[in-house]
Amino acid sequence: MPKTHSLIRLIRDCILIDPSFNELIQKNIDELTDFAVEIRYADDFYFPSIEESRDAIKKAEFVRAFVLSKITNIENN
């Protein structure tokens, strides 16, 4: 798999193995891609609002918990 910052691409690949990853699409987790790329690679430095930052943190924490639960399930089987 080539390197990518595209969460939607990564999520779709995961869905092929585990359809429950579709929940990440339903929760618009792919919005984190734009948030991260704009901050890292923007020509003009981008300052997200407090609300945008809180939303991104909430989504990132959800993804982390979701993926860790999948890893834990694999390790326990």
Residue 67 identity: V
One DSSP character per residue, 17-66 reads H-GGGHHHHHTTTTHHHHHHHHHHH-SSPP---HHHHHHHHHHHHHHHHH
Distance CA 73, CA 54 (A): 29
Q: How many CA atoms lie within 13 A of 65 on its CB side?
A: 8
Q: What does each C-alpha distance from 59 to 2, 34, 55 come to in angstroms?
A: 24, 13, 6
Instruction: Give the tens place of pLDDT for each residue, 7-21.
Output: 999 999 999 999 999
Instruction: Give the tens place of pLDDT for each residue, 22-67.
Output: 999 999 999 998 877 766 665 667 778 999 999 999 999 999 999 9
Instruction: Say what the pTM is.
Output: 0.79
